[in-house]
Structure 1
């Protein structure tokens, strides 16, 4: 890419890479604030509201609820470039795509998301193609629900939480709580053996929320393995190898494995020189301003950006608002706003109860609820808001740059 045989097709005032939540909402917000010449590179034809996949995996939603065509969510006034970015020539402000086309930019916004780290854990996709393995995180949410329904009494279910980065860490245990609710309702729990493998010292960096979730897991009889990584997949024998912090290796057999694999940023971001010394290929931005540390015309938000907080959809709403305002302010030399690391970890602790789990970069709990309400109490109203209200807000307001 970037040779004399390739051609630069167009130049954009703002070019966005990634047509998920971050990219589309950034495009819409920029256009609403008067920006022109906005282009967005995205190869997929289908746009997915990913938080709803937990409910697909729990039998409370369908894929039709979670998906729209990409064309239908593209903001009016934004040019959709149906292509895949493969390299960024930052010195020449050009993004090169799989088609061989190049697009120049004045400002670049990266909302590229994460990809499974197959170097850290080989065989991820092979395992996901076997009948007893599913993942709401890797397009297997419908199979998650099928495996939950098929779980025999006395069966073994294993759920995994990888090391950072991962989108909305708390969501990785939503499938466990929703599965357990179904097994209780159908008389199989107690009776199903549940193991949670957590590749970090604790689930969340917010101690109060972490403690509440651990209480809920223990009440279900879940065996929790902290500081334990999945190190080998053996789907032919329906087992995985896990390695503890002390180097001890154990084989875990399963009738159902909900695999959240380790993730990383796309490798072409690394080879484009935009990741600096960040681990796992994350984009090297200032976590307060969301501006690249060495390339002031490059901005990033979301899962693949080094925002120094647990990424989530709720965090992204605040990030995109600040990113867009900062990008426009930087053009006129105005001061830049700072992102405080606010994020949200909504977790269903039963079929119809949810802890919102809002906290800041420091791990301190914050809350948008009235001060007299316990922000860590599981509530049916919070579940209903997460399941039914937020999807409508997403499709009708967030992706249109209105919130």
Structure 2
């Protein structure tokens, strides 16, 4: 392993792997990638696993299996960035120099951000598809519930694909209806936003499905506490905080950039979330010209999602390749965001929008708020194959 790379990437998730592979395709050489984890997850499948429509084996690969062969895998954990010195320090004390740096470590799940939530995750009635260890637990809980109260919460932004937290509520309701027990289950969906999603057309479609399932929708409300022993949650809403008991709780914690990143010079002053301060279109740091960021840890304006990331990868790869080649970066990211929401275990709608939640459909002639069977097939079966065989190889 070298102690200097022309391009150094922090993070071996979707962002880091797909960007490194694309940079190599653009003839950028001498790339190092820092990633401590031995496994790689395709997280969009976690909701399908929790809904009983996929297996965990489909969502996981060994990191060595997806790492581009032409990229040097630095098996370690980033602990600090010193941009004035063009260096990254690892947790084990190693120091890696760089010519250009790309920061994409993803988000951390702040389980301690909600009192009692971290401890509650070990209890039999509480789960979260945002933890790789729990989608299979979610499905077991859904299968076993025949009556009582099921609570599903969505975290406030910033969060990775926050709206996807609703997905499991609809999948569970579809299963319970199929089993003939939905009328015996009180389903409560908690969202932090004034409307169920934020895009007018999508709101209408989701409200219709919520009414069809008989879900109680709590808007402008967040999870404020969990008492697993009493099987109770505290919900903070417009009228104050109230308590609700549950038989099943699917909770998603608040999220932020990794703690170590917050302590570097890269976030903007006063940014408590610790996100890397970049031009949201060029994806280049505003103060350090040889530092770039994309994905969930970047202070961009878009809704954080894999679909948004795919657009960012193309922009950043072209801009970084241009700078390495002595040219000015000219590509710009258009703030595109997308959230695939399964409404049944066989239908799905793709919500596509910009940073102001205005519709941005890929196919303008198609109703973007209509649930479709082919969209579910695309999300469940086709996208995972595109991810493993094309996106991670820098080809999509």
TM range (shorter): over 0.9
Q: Distance in 1 between matches of 2:39 and 2:118?
A: 21
Task: Give 1:136's aligned residue.
Answer: 129
**Alignment partner for residue 362 of structure 1, among 356, 370, 388?**
356
- In the alignment, is residue 90 of structure 1 matched against residue 90 of structure 2? no
Asked if structure 2 preserves the Cα contact closer than 8 Å seen for 1:354 and 1:380, the reply is yes
Q: Distance in 1 between matches of 2:73 and 2:85?
A: 22
- In the alignment, is residue 349 of structure 1 matched against residue 343 of structure 2? yes
The structure-2 alpha-carbon separation of the partners of 1:202 and 1:91, relative to structure 1 and needing over 3 Å to count, comes to farther
The structure-2 alpha-carbon separation of the partners of 1:94 and 1:364, relative to structure 1 and needing over 3 Å to count, comes to same
How far did residue 56 of structure 1 move? 0.6
Q: Distance in 2 between matches of 1:188 and 1:82?
A: 49
The structure-2 alpha-carbon separation of the partners of 1:338 and 1:205, relative to structure 1 and needing over 3 Å to count, comes to farther
**Alignment partner for residue 147 of structure 1, among 138, 141, 146?**
141
Q: Distance in 2 between matches of 1:257 and 1:29?
A: 40
Task: Give 1:112's aligned residue.
Answer: 105
- In the alignment, is residue 267 of structure 1 matched against residue 259 of structure 2? yes
Give the 3-state SS of the residue equivalent to 2:374 in structure 1. helix
Asked if structure 2 preserves the Cα contact closer than 8 Å seen for 1:233 and 1:240, the reply is yes
How far did residue 91 of structure 1 move? 1.0
Q: Distance in 1 between matches of 2:262 and 2:46?
A: 29
> What does the per-residue CA deviation read over 1:346-381, in whole Å, with 9 as the maximum and x for residues that have no partner?
001111000011112232212223x44322210000
Asked if structure 2 preserves the Cα contact closer than 8 Å seen for 1:330 and 1:336, the reply is no
- In the alignment, is residue 258 of structure 1 matched against residue 250 of structure 2? yes
How far did residue 136 of structure 1 move? 0.6
Give the 3-state SS of the residue equivalent to 2:273 in structure 1. helix
How far did residue 207 of structure 1 move? 2.4
How far did residue 208 of structure 1 move? 1.9
- In the alignment, is residue 324 of structure 1 matched against residue 317 of structure 2? yes
Asked if structure 1 preserves the Cα contact closer than 8 Å seen for 2:117 and 2:225, the reply is no
RMSD over aligned CA atoms reads 1.5
**Alignment partner for residue 334 of structure 2, among 334, 340, 343?**
340
Asked if structure 2 preserves the Cα contact closer than 8 Å seen for 1:195 and 1:223, the reply is yes
How far did residue 336 of structure 1 move? 2.1
> What does the per-residue CA deviation read over 1:372-400, in whole Å, with 9 as the maximum and x for residues that have no partner?
43222100000001000000000000000
Task: Give 1:311's aligned residue.
Answer: 304
Q: Distance in 2 between matches of 1:204 and 1:13?
A: 42
Task: Give 2:275's aligned residue.
Answer: 282
- In the alignment, is residue 56 of structure 1 matched against residue 35 of structure 2? no
Q: Distance in 1 between matches of 2:275 and 2:376?
A: 32
> What does the per-residue CA deviation read over 1:91-139, in whole Å, with 9 as the maximum and x for residues that have no partner?
1111111111111111111111111224532443311111111111122
Q: Distance in 1 between matches of 2:110 and 2:280?
A: 23
Q: Distance in 2 between matches of 1:270 and 1:372?
A: 43
Asked if structure 2 preserves the Cα contact closer than 8 Å seen for 1:174 and 1:347, the reply is yes
Larger mean Cα displacement after TM superposition, 231-240 or 379-388 = 231-240
**Alignment partner for residue 199 of structure 1, among 192, 195, 216?**
192
TM-score by length of 1: 0.94
Q: Distance in 2 between matches of 1:189 and 1:205?
A: 27
TM-score by length of 2: 0.96
Task: Give 1:3's aligned residue.
Answer: none
Gaps of 5+ in 2: none
Name the count of aligned residue pairs.
393
**Alignment partner for residue 218 of structure 1, among 192, 207, 211?**
211
Asked if structure 2 preserves the Cα contact closer than 8 Å seen for 1:132 and 1:255, the reply is yes
Q: Distance in 2 between matches of 1:203 and 1:338?
A: 30
Query: What does 1:13-92 align with in structure 2 at a 5 Å threshold?
Result: 13-92=6-85
Asked if structure 1 preserves the Cα contact closer than 8 Å seen for 2:347 and 2:373, the reply is yes
Q: Distance in 1 between matches of 2:278 and 2:160?
A: 18
